[in-house]
Structure 1
Amino acid sequence: MHQPYTEITEETIHAMVHGFYDRVREDQLLKDVFNNSIGDQWDPHLATMCRFWSSVLLTSGQYKGNPMMVHMQVDGIKRHLFDRWLELFRETNLYLFTPEIADHIQEKAERIAQSLMLGIFYKPEDVKVGT
């Protein structure tokens, strides 16, 4: 039986990122979008994601990229895929961490997803004023 992690460290972030993307790569809804975008660059992608989550969760400053620009260039990205991404992310973290830590991580992930969805899908011309 797996003993849940009781703290967020570089090592537990590594386990989270790798465990999560193992699931993504098998997921019927997500795998094609990720595989088409990442191709044979999974090792660099996973390293980048470890730096990203280290920066988010440990304020380590390791990540220096622009997630919005990266995601805007992903072919096949759709709003509903974020729901599945968040669902798999929550399942992964509930398995790996104590419920309190999993909730903390999920809260961060949901804010990031909201920000990305606004940046990618928001179209001011679709907003009807006064209706």
Structure 2
Amino acid sequence: MHQPFTEITDETIHRMVHSFYDRVRQDPLLKDVFNNSIDDKWDPHLATMCRFWSSVLLTSGQYKGNPMMVHMKVDGIKRHLFDRWLELFKETNQQLFTAENADHIQEKAERIAQSLMLGIFYKPEDVKVGS
């Protein structure tokens, strides 16, 4: 076991992304959705995720994509899978980072997950006015 990372850098983000997706690829709930979506393009996906998290956590501007559109096209994506994703992400970061950094990263991840879930699953007809 290593000493927890006390800083969030591109190097520690790289470790976080790769450690997390190693878990995802073995997780009974998540692996099929990810493997079916990513297929054999894991290296480009991991590189994209490193750029994404660098942009989120370091405001580096490395990521230029549209995560909402990407996730809306994922076959098999379900609301409950976000809970499992967040759980694995939290476990990964609690092992890698100091508690303060792990909490900071998790807060960002939870906001992103909430935004994606609203964009993917929100249906205006489900809102009941006056209830």
TM-score between both structures, scaled by the size of structure 2: 0.99
The aligned residue for residue 97 of structure 1 is: 97
The aligned residue for residue 115 of structure 1 is: 115
Partners of 2:86 and 2:129 lie apart in 1 by 31
How far the C-alpha of 1:62 sits from its partner, in A, is 0.2
Q: How does 1:1-131 map to 2 (within 5 A)?
A: 1-131=1-131
User: Which runs of 5 or more structure 1 residues have no equivalent in the other structure?
Assistant: none
Partners of 2:130 and 2:115 lie apart in 1 by 25
Code of the aligned partner of 1:46: L
Q: Per the alignment, in what secondary structure is the counterpart of residue 64 of structure 1? A: coil
Q: Deviations over 1:17-63 (max 9, x none)?
A: 00000000000000000000000000000000000000000000000
Code of the aligned partner of 2:89: F
Partners of 1:43 and 1:128 lie apart in 2 by 44
Q: Percent identity?
A: 89
Which contiguous aligned blocks of 4+ residues in structure 1 show a shift greater than 2 angstroms?
Answer: none
Q: Per the alignment, in what secondary structure is the counterpart of residue 2 of structure 1? A: coil
Partners of 2:106 and 2:125 lie apart in 1 by 31
How far the C-alpha of 1:130 sits from its partner, in A, is 1.2
Instruction: Give the alignment's Cα RMSD to 1 decimal.
Output: 0.4
Partners of 2:121 and 2:63 lie apart in 1 by 24
Code of the aligned partner of 2:13: I
Q: Per the alignment, in what secondary structure is the counterpart of residue 105 of structure 1? A: helix
User: Which runs of 5 or more structure 2 residues have no equivalent in the other structure?
Assistant: none
Partners of 2:5 and 2:127 lie apart in 1 by 44
TM-score between both structures, scaled by the size of structure 1: 0.99
Q: Deviations over 1:46-86 (max 9, x none)?
A: 00000000000000000000000000000000000000000
Task: Say how many residue pairs are matched.
Answer: 131
